[in-house]
């Protein structure tokens, strides 16, 4: 991975403040930024309608005006 001098300086400072190596800082930032994401990069579970049948009836709901 290529970083600009400024990016490298910021990463070194970030890692140093936490007592981590550069590699550890990168691993942790990657883990944090991708936590809870599906393989396609989307975050699952952002909406809970409370209706367990909604997924099966989505076309019906859309035809009914999408909740109107």
- Is residue 23 assigned to a domain? yes
Q: What is residue 58's predicted lDDT score, i.e. its pLDDT? A: 82
Domain that holds residue 19: 1-37
Question: At CA 19, angle to CA 16 and CA 20, rounded to 5?
Answer: 85
Q: How confident is the model at residue 1 (pLDDT cuts 50, 70, 90)?
A: confident
User: Does the structure show a pLDDT above 70 at 60?
Assistant: yes
- Is residue 18 assigned to a domain? yes
Using an 8 Å Cβ cutoff, are 15 and 23 in contact?
A: no
Domain count, the chain: 1
- Is residue 49 assigned to a domain? no
- Is residue 14 assigned to a domain? yes
- Is residue 8 assigned to a domain? yes
Q: What is residue 67's predicted lDDT score, i.e. its pLDDT? A: 54
- Is residue 27 assigned to a domain? yes
- The candidate with the shortest Cα–Cα distance to 36, out of 26, 46, 50, 28, is 46
pLDDT in tens, 2-52: 889 999 999 999 999 999 999 999 999 988 887 766 666 666 666 677 788
Q: What is residue 10's predicted lDDT score, i.e. its pLDDT? A: 94
């Amino acid at each position: 991975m290529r970083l600009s001098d400024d990016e490298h300086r910021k990463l070194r400072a970030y890692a140093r403040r936490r007592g981590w190596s550069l590699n550890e800082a990168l691993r942790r930032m990657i883990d944090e930024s991708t936590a809870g994401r599906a393989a396609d990069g989307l975050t699952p579970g952002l909406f809970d309608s409370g209706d367990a049948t909604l997924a099966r009836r989505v076309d019906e709901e859309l035809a009914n005006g999408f909740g109107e």
